[in-house]
Amino acid sequence: MQTPSRLDKTPIEVPRGLANVIVTETALSDVRGTEGFYHYRQYSAIELAEHRSLEEVWFLLMAGNLPSAGQLQAFTARIAAQSRLSVGLQGVLPRLAANGDYLAGLKAALAFESITAPGSWGVPLFDLDRDARSEALLALAARVPVIIAALHRLRRGSQPIPADPELGYVANYLYMLNGVRPDPAHADALGTYLVAAVDHGLNASTFTARVIASTGADAVSCLLGALGSLSGPLHGGAPSRALDTLDAIGSLANIDPWITEQVLAGHRIMGFGHPVYRTEDPRSALLKSVALRFGGPRVDFAVAVEERIPQLLAQLKPGRELHTNLEFYAAIVMEICGLDRALFTPTFAVARVLGWCANIIEQCEDPKIIRPTARYVGPAAPQPLP
């Protein structure tokens, strides 16, 4: 569409969805869509996912460098110290768990903590220095997996359990969900996914967090806005729908007729397509390799669907390419690790909240509020009142 600039009224082109419009500068991450590559600060995100822990990558985004052994130990201790829920929140969690919507429960829990807990969580970020902002955001992020796990266990009729001090961040998440020490292979697989999902350029939820942060609002408000954005099916709300797609297809024989029907009807195929990548999503390739290490009928079927869709598109929609995105094989990996589908998007949030926190801190360094404009297309004004 076209819109006049605010200064000289010269029409300028504004793409739908602000695609490729640069609205800020960041030193945190970048997505090179035509190359199929993305990185966190100076390191390949895929290499980090393959070789580094979630705690190390969290430190990298917050501090700008990978931690030494001593720094990692101290940082891990800080996280552990902030992973305890208040007595008040523990009392209301059973009610928040009642409907099984863990993301909604998480939002309500964070809002509750911001009102009742001491500290700077509810204080406008505008009024805090960088260290206080970082500490408030770290405290909130550290509670996210604890809250999700507690909601899940309460929903299943079990009592929440505290973290095991001998386990890492990802293994503890699985432990708090299920009450048993996880298979190391499952913890490694889930850790790979979570590191790959920590940040991804100026996606919808990260942009939302930065817009709110630009107003100087409190840390909880920034995270609640981001969580609301993440819940949408076109953003983080799609991993479980990728499995729904596989269930709907059902068999190898039904791949062609099901996909053909969806494509000709113009329906979206969940788990496929990305607004930035014009080649294979590197996160999908990474998680496919993780899934293949486990193997099994579900993995084989997912690969068959993935490989057949481009072939069908070449026949039905020549020139149109469609590749799997993060959510397709992320759903497979989370299923392998024993997670219920209701946990898929909340688990995505366990990772992405770390990226939001780093982006919020970075945005707070810029005193300018994010305030774009819109092109008015309504009736001409002014008109006389009836």
Q: Which two tokens stand for residue 245?
A: 């797609």
Residue type, 345: T
Give the three-state DSSP class for 383: coil
Residue 11, φ and ψ in degrees, nearest 5: -60, 135
Cα–Cα distance for residue pair 149/105, rounded to 1 Å = 11
Q: Which two tokens stand for residue 219?
A: 């840390």
Cα–Cα distance for residue pair 76/86, rounded to 1 Å = 20
Of these residues, 152, 186, 200, 274, which one is catalytic? 274
Of these residues, 55, 113, 327, 335, which one is catalytic? 327
Residue type, 306: E
> Does residue 382 have a cis bond before it (omega within 30 degrees)?
yes
Cβ neighbours around 59 below 10 Å, total: 24
Give the three-state DSSP class for 31: strand
Give the three-state DSSP class for 38: strand
Active site residue 274: yes
Give the three-state DSSP class for 12: strand
Residue 12, φ and ψ in degrees, nearest 5: -130, 155
Q: At what angle do helices 102-116 and 87-96 cross, to 10 degrees?
A: 150
Cα–Cα distance for residue pair 110/356, rounded to 1 Å = 15
Q: Which two tokens stand for residue 63?
A: 């501090």
Pairing status of strand 11-13 against strand 2-4: antiparallel
Cα–Cα distance for residue pair 181/131, rounded to 1 Å = 34
Residue type, 166: E
The torsion of the CA quartet 313, 315, 316, 321, rounded to 10 degrees, works out to: 30
Cα–Cα distance for residue pair 178/199, rounded to 1 Å = 27
Contact status, residue 14 vs residue 375, Cβ threshold 8 Å: yes
Rg (CA), the chain: 22
Contact status, residue 193 vs residue 291, Cβ threshold 8 Å: no
Instruction: List active site positions.
Output: 274, 327
